[in-house]
């Protein structure tokens, strides 16, 4: 019997290792946060000035009030968009109970990807949008956003690409055969498209084309996928004013979306994609990734009659340290929202229990931070939060969704000096725009996890993940104990932070960083981060499992 158990244990370890390599097999893109240097370079090349909604003013780093103000504005726009879609009239105006509709003059996106299309290939910086389906690029422009006077971001040109093909009206993805007659003559002419987004008069239209999309798999191997997308000849509304200058990639459920197209072409194993976010905002989207067999999972709530389904899940309890509190609510899992938004009673249960378990003194930081009710002050000289309570949501079916890094740092500069951490807030906001707004699990709750959107099985999956290594992390079950660089005492061996994500710049990122706050997203990296200690500890887990495997094999041979 003991022998049998050992074999099971060996199988489990072998499976774990196999899953580790399989996980790096996904094909996809690196995600760039809108305030990352990569996006900044594209935007500057297009003539967007620092201080515009695309670029933070001057030297404001992540963690500063300007940074949070911009992200909160962005989240409000997302909520407005979602309400507009729920109304399904497609023509709603953006209005807010608590502010000026006119302040939201851009249709903002949180994440971008650099994509290469065609032969020879051209590069585009596309906005990623889970709320729509079509992928389109500025192309054969009649009306496009200005591109600045650089060579980056020239429109896509079908005639310049040897792999470009027309998509005729008879094509299965042509959804407007009715409009074909007006454009050409019957089923062999190019299929026209027109997408309208919620915001007034914002849209893109043109003809569908097919060309190759260049992707890279986890091992760095190039993959070329034939994809149908919109040759966007006419953009309107916000798309002329900076939103999605370089095109937009819809990640929705429809068969025309890139994840669906990759799955139906057989290039990826499953109609599924994963998103991984590390603490400094570095991310990765992998198409076809359905996660690992032992990931935690919960079903999506069926969308019913809603025209645009969201990734909606049920929660049954909130746990703070060992205290589990039953509370039922549904929440939308949206990587395009920066923070997490809850309604009462969930909001109060989570925040008050968090509050009673942290040892720093409560503080308020005013403008930029005012939406965050639970903020705390670091003592002079203190650079680490003393203790982060272990918090999680128990989803329908019982799977536990851990919040590995729900807090946001507060940075300030004294007399124009360098920004430094002075405190932190819990990155959870009470829904105030409207009490009927859905609770939203934003990017900050996905930090340290790989979240799998399995559309085929209609489940959300997740596991603790190291996005830098594209590898699963050992789950020690313990929360982080540090607020920033645990270069000091708490990096001693045996400290319970197996889910610690090291700060290591990615080799494929360029050097245009604006300090240690690079590259945007959910803030984390404090100025004095030490990279060397962390990398040795990060490899410890792999080493440990290899030793464990070895020991188990030896024991089993002895048996």
Ligand X SMILES: *[C@@H]1O[C@H](CO)[C@@H](O)[C@H](O)[C@H]1NC(C)=O
Structure letter (DSSP) for residue 81:
H
- 332 in contact with ligand X (CB under 6 A): yes
The residue among 147, 163, 256, 167 whose CA lies nearest residue 207 is: 167
Distances (CA, A) of 517 to 30, 71, 105: 18, 15, 27
The residue among 90, 78, 143 whose CA lies nearest residue 341 is: 78
Q: Which is nearer to ligand X, 169 or 411 (CB)?
A: 169
Q: How far is the CB of 144 from ligand X (least distance, A)?
A: 16
- 167 in contact with ligand X (CB under 6 A): no
The three-state secondary structure class of 468 is coil
Residue from 49, 57, 95, 99 touching ligand X (CB under 6 A): that is 99
- 263 in contact with ligand X (CB under 6 A): no
Residue 32-61 contact track with ligand X, rule CB under 6 A, x = bound = -------------x-x--------------
- 350 in contact with ligand X (CB under 6 A): no
DSSP string, 528-548: T--HHHHHHHHHHHHHHHHHH
- 434 in contact with ligand X (CB under 6 A): no
Two structure tokens written together for 497: 């932070």
With beta carbons less than 8 A apart as the criterion, state whether 123 and 214 touch: no
Q: How far is the CB of 297 from ligand X (least distance, A)?
A: 17
- 187 in contact with ligand X (CB under 6 A): yes
Q: Which residues pair with 423 in a beta bridge?
A: 377, 410
Residue from 100, 307, 379, 478 touching ligand X (CB under 6 A): that is 100
- Which region among 17-25, 111-119, 305-313, 397-405 touches ligand X (by CB under 6 A)? 305-313
- 148 in contact with ligand X (CB under 6 A): yes
The CB-nearest residue to ligand X is 186
- Which region among 139-147, 265-273, 306-314, 456-464 touches ligand X (by CB under 6 A)? 306-314
Two structure tokens written together for 58: 């001057």
Residue from 93, 330, 434, 536 touching ligand X (CB under 6 A): that is 330
With beta carbons less than 8 A apart as the criterion, state whether 111 and 336 touch: yes
Q: How far is the CB of 208 from ligand X (least distance, A)?
A: 15
- 418 in contact with ligand X (CB under 6 A): no
Q: Which is nearer to ligand X, 331 or 483 (CB)?
A: 331
- 299 in contact with ligand X (CB under 6 A): no
The residue whose two tokens read 């002329």 is: 240
Q: Which is nearer to ligand X, 177 or 316 (CB)?
A: 177
- 21 in contact with ligand X (CB under 6 A): no
Q: Which is nearer to ligand X, 95 or 150 (CB)?
A: 150
288 phi/psi in degrees, rounded to 5: 80, 0
- 149 in contact with ligand X (CB under 6 A): yes
Q: How far is the CB of 290 from ligand X (least distance, A)?
A: 23
- 478 in contact with ligand X (CB under 6 A): no
Q: In 10 A of CB 74, how many CB atoms?
A: 21
Q: Total number of residues binding ligand X (CB under 6 A)?
A: 21
| Burial of 300 (C-beta count, 10 Å sphere; 0-12/13-18/19+) | buried
Count CA atoms within 13 Å of residue 24 on its CB side. Answer: 15
Q: Which of residues 502-541 bind ligand X (CB under 6 A)?
A: 510-511
With beta carbons less than 8 A apart as the criterion, state whether 521 and 282 touch: yes
The three-state secondary structure class of 553 is helix
Q: How far apart are the first and last CA of the chain?
A: 12
**Which helix (H) or strand (E) element contains residue 448?**
none
- 159 in contact with ligand X (CB under 6 A): no
Q: Which of the residues are catalytic?
A: 129, 334
Q: Which residues contact 169 (CB under 8 A, 6 or more apart)?
A: 177, 180, 184, 186, 187, 188, 189, 190, 191
Q: In 10 A of CB 372, how many CB atoms?
A: 23
Q: Which is nearer to ligand X, 330 or 556 (CB)?
A: 330
Q: Which is nearer to ligand X, 320 or 439 (CB)?
A: 439
Residue from 51, 170, 219, 488 touching ligand X (CB under 6 A): that is 170
Which residues of the chain form contacts with ligand X (CB under 6 A)? 45, 47, 99-100, 148-150, 170, 177, 186-187, 301, 303, 306, 310, 312, 330, 332, 438, 510-511
């Amino acid at each position: 019997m003991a022998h049998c158990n050992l074999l099971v244990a060996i199988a489990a370890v072998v499976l774990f290792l196999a899953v580790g390599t399989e996980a790096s097999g996904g094909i996809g893109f690196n995600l760039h946060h809108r305030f990352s240097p990569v996006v900044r370079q594209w935007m500057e090349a297009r003539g967007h000035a620092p201080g515009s909604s695309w670029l933070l003013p001057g030297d404001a780093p992540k963690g500063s009030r300007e940074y949070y103000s911009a992200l909160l504005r962005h989240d409000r726009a997302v909520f407005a968009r979602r309400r507009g879609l729920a109304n399904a009239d497609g023509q709603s105006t953006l209005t807010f109970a608590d502010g000026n509709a006119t302040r939201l003059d851009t249709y903002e996106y949180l994440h971008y990807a650099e994509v290469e299309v065609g032969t020879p290939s051209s590069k585009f910086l596309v906005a990623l949008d889970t709320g729509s389906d079509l992928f389109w690029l500025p192309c054969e422009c009649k009306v496009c956003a200005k591109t600045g006077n650089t060579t980056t971001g020239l429109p896509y040109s079908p005639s310049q690409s040897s792999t470009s093909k027309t998509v005729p009206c008879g094509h299965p993805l042509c959804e407007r055969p009715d409009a074909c007659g007006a454009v050409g003559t019957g089923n062999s002419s190019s299929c026209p498209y027109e997408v309208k987004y919620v915001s007034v008069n914002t849209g893109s239209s043109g003809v569908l084309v097919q060309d190759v999309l260049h992707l890279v798999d986890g091992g760095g191997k190039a993959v070329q996928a034939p994809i149908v997308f919109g040759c966007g000849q006419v953009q309107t509304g916000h798309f002329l004013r900076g939103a999605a200058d370089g095109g937009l990639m819809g990640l929705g459920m429809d068969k025309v979306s890139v994840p669906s197209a990759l799955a139906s072409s057989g290039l990826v194993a499953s109609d599924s994609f994963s998103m991984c976010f590390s603490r400094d905002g570095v991310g990765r989207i992998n198409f076809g990734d359905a996660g690992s067999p032992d990931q935690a999972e919960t079903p999506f709530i069926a969308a019913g009659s809603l025209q645009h389904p969201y990734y909606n899940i049920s929660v049954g309890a909130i746990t703070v340290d060992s205290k589990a509190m039953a509370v039922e609510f549904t929440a939308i899992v949206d990587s395009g929202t920066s923070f997490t938004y809850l309604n009462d009673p969930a909001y109060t249960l989570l925040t008050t229990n968090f509050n009673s378990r942290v040892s720093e003194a409560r503080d308020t930081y005013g403008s930029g931070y005012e939406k965050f009710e639970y903020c705390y002050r670091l003592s002079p000289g203190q650079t680490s939060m003393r203790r982060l309570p272990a918090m999680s949501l128990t989803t329908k079916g019982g799977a536990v969704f851990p919040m590995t890094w729900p807090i946001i740092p507060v940075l300030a500069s004294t007399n124009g000096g360098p920004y430094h951490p002075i405190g932190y807030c819990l990155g959870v906001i009470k829904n105030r725009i409207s009490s009927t707004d859905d609770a939203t699990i934003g990017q900050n709750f996905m930090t340290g996890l790989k979240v799998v959107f399995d559309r085929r099985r209609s489940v959300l999956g997740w596991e603790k993940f190291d996005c830098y290594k594209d590898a699963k992390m050992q789950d020690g079950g313990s929360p982080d104990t540090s607020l920033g660089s645990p270069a000091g005492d708490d990096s001693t061996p045996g400290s319970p932070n197996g889910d610690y994500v090291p700060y290591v710049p990615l080799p494929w990122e360029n050097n245009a960083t604006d300090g240690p706050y690079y590259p945007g997203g959910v803030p984390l990296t404090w100025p004095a981060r030490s990279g060397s200690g962390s990398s040795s500890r990060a490899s410890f887990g792999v080493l440990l499992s290899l030793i464990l495997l070895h020991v188990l094999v030896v024991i089993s041979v002895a048996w």
